[in-house]
Amino acid sequence: MKFKEKFIDKYSKLTDFEEYKESVVRNFARKSIRINTLDYTIKEVKKSLERDGWLLRQIPWCRTGFFIEHSTGRRDIGNTKQHKKGMFFSQGAPSMIPSLLMNISGKAKVLDMCAAPGGKTHHLACLMNNKGYLLANEPNNFRKRILKLNLERCGVENVAFDSQNGEDYTNNEKFDAILIDAPCTGSGLIKGKIARTKKLLREWNPKITTKYAKKQRWMLEAAIKHLRKHGRIVYSTCSMEPEEDELLVDDFIKDHDDLSSIEGRSMVAQFAKPLVNKIANPTLKEAYTSEISNICDLDFSKLLSGEDRYQPNKSLQKEEVKKTPNSVIRKSVLGVFTALIQHPKLAKDRVFDLIRKDSRFLFLNDVRNFYKDNPEAVPSILFEKIENEKIKNLFGEALVSEIKLSVDDAKSMIEDCISLISKTEKDREEILKEKYNMQEITSAEKRELQQHILKKASMTEEDQILLKNLSSK
């Protein structure tokens, strides 16, 4: 199987490429079906198929979905009498998820913006129990005919049809929910030594990814104009490209979330809740929780635990932030991380040379060197490499920051933050001495102050007395 050099380069940064390559070669997509509950029960369809030698295994995330194989190894599930009768829809297991996320009822008004060949449209009709209003849009006439045939075969009655380009979609209607199963590169379908895999690998290139990403963003922009207040957009692709998925959605949300009202902030928090709950890494989960609390001005940790709904974060509102040296340092480090994550090429900036070899902030140079060597690297790779928990937390915060910086702003931020860190480092001894005199110094800070004094080429009498006192206490 032949992979392009650019493909290898990109996916080596996104995955363990050798493991990915092995997975692609050895795996085939499992056949799966979803039972047509508009006309049949799950029990009678299972019984009919099992009688003909088909083996069904429940798909965990879909009550009506089943992985299916035959006792003899045959795979032509589409040629069965049950399929012709409309007893089920042949559909990939992951493709069953988007419709479930729509969270709709039979009273809803729903738009499927990219409907053909009709699997998700049919699933929506089943979830709506053939009630409400379902508009299936498909601009390609040939694909539209297939869409209609599939929906007719399965007895869908609450559907109307439209034929507009999704990125230019315009009409006078507003919808409770909009599904965008967008056209994409299809890189998530690269499985096994089959003709489709070879075609996808042959056609893949960065320009195609960029082309699709622009089209997908236009679709989202068109969709939001037709969404009712409190409505829901579900966006999905069969691509593994971050530019078509998480990066695109992240930018779209940042541009459109209404964070100026309590209602808007609450909606964002509620939307984020199930997503954050799925994060396994506790450090990253904590970073997301902290960032969402700040963005939405509420205690998001309580919302996650079910203790509280929509309560503003009073501690954030009332407590005035004290500009202690530690808070200044923390914000400066956070600023450097944020700027580098968004503009990795700034790692070449000479301002990093201000960080002394004996500085506490040498880890910034480690991050800088990583980006100098890997300017296209996904930030999550670096996140996993950081061992110090405090630094990891700060990097996680920067990773989920909503602050969007231009190149010039990022460059200025790095310069300002490192200059501040360098100055703070120089003034650190005086700060520690003041804390000692005020009897507010910690054991760790005592040891730090001792090191500052011991590093001096010559000590004053005052230094000698202080060093003796620090050693005796």
Model-level pTM? 0.59
The CATH number that applies at residue 41 is 3.30.70.1170
Pairing state between β 109-112 and 54-58: unpaired
Q: Are residues 214 and 290 located together in one domain of the fold?
A: no
Q: Are residues 164 and 302 located together in one domain of the fold?
A: no
Q: Are residues 123 and 202 located together in one domain of the fold?
A: yes
Number of structural domains in the chain: 4
Q: Are residues 122 and 45 located together in one domain of the fold?
A: no
Give the Cα separation of 392 and 375 in Å (integer): 19
Proportion of the chain above pLDDT 90, given as a percent: 36
Q: Are residues 77 and 131 located together in one domain of the fold?
A: no
Angle between helices 407-437 and 461-472 (to 10 degrees): 80
Give the Cα separation of 288 and 380 in Å (integer): 13
pLDDT digits (tens, 9 = 90+) for 182-195: 999 999 888 887 88
Q: Residue 323 pLDDT more than 50?
A: no
Give the residue, 255 or 158, on which the prediction is more confident.
158
Where residue 69 falls among pLDDT bands split at 50, 70, 90? very high
Give the Cα separation of 121 and 112 in Å (integer): 7
Task: Note whether residue 158 is domain-resident.
Answer: yes
Could you tell me the two tokens for 269?
A: 């928090």
> Sign of the CA dihedral 117, 119, 120, 123?
positive
pLDDT digits (tens, 9 = 90+) for 402-425: 677 888 888 888 888 887 777 655
Q: Are residues 107 and 243 located together in one domain of the fold?
A: yes
Closest alpha carbon to 215 in 241, 195, 192, 193 = 241
Give the Cα separation of 269 and 230 in Å (integer): 13
Task: Note whether residue 455 is domain-resident.
Answer: no
Task: Note whether residue 445 is domain-resident.
Answer: no
Q: Residue 326 pLDDT more than 60?
A: no
Task: Note whether residue 252 is domain-resident.
Answer: yes
Q: Residue 368 pLDDT more than 60?
A: yes
Give the Cα separation of 49 and 56 in Å (integer): 8
Q: Quick one: average pLDDT of 162-182?
A: 91
Active site residues: 238
Give me Rg for the CA atoms of the chain. Answer: 28
Q: Are residues 276 and 364 located together in one domain of the fold?
A: no
Buried-state track 86-122, b at ≥16 Cβ within 10 A, e below 16: bbbbbbbbebbbbbbebebeeebbbbbbbbbbbbbbb
Pairing state between β 175-181 and 227-236: parallel
Q: Are residues 109 and 222 located together in one domain of the fold?
A: yes
Q: Is the Cβ–Cβ distance between 399 and 344 less than 8 Å? A: no
Q: Are residues 62 and 111 located together in one domain of the fold?
A: no
Pairing state between β 88-90 and 32-35: antiparallel
Task: Note whether residue 469 is domain-resident.
Answer: no
Please tell me the least confidently modeled range out of 168-182, 364-378, 432-446: 432-446
Q: Quick one: average pLDDT of 161-188?
A: 92
Q: Are residues 110 and 223 located together in one domain of the fold?
A: yes
Task: Note whether residue 194 is domain-resident.
Answer: yes
CA-to-CA dists, residue 234 to 75, 192, 243, 258, 432, angstroms: 31, 29, 17, 18, 53
Task: Note whether residue 454 is domain-resident.
Answer: no
Where residue 324 falls among pLDDT bands split at 50, 70, 90? very low
Give the Cα separation of 119 and 94 in Å (integer): 12
Q: Are residues 195 and 121 located together in one domain of the fold?
A: yes
Give the Cα separation of 106 and 179 in Å (integer): 16
Q: Are residues 249 and 385 located together in one domain of the fold?
A: no
pLDDT digits (tens, 9 = 90+) for 196-226: 888 888 889 989 999 999 999 999 999 999 9
351, containing H or E segment: none
Task: Note whether residue 383 is domain-resident.
Answer: yes
The CATH number that applies at residue 150 is 3.40.50.150
The domain of 197 spans: 96-256
HEC letters along 224-243: HCCEEEEEEEEEECCCCCHH
CA-to-CA dists, residue 80 to 30, 49, 67, 89, 240, angstroms: 17, 9, 16, 12, 33
Closest alpha carbon to 268 in 247, 296, 288, 294 = 296
Q: Centre a 10 Å sphere on the Cβ of residue 348 and count the other Cβ atoms it contains.
A: 11
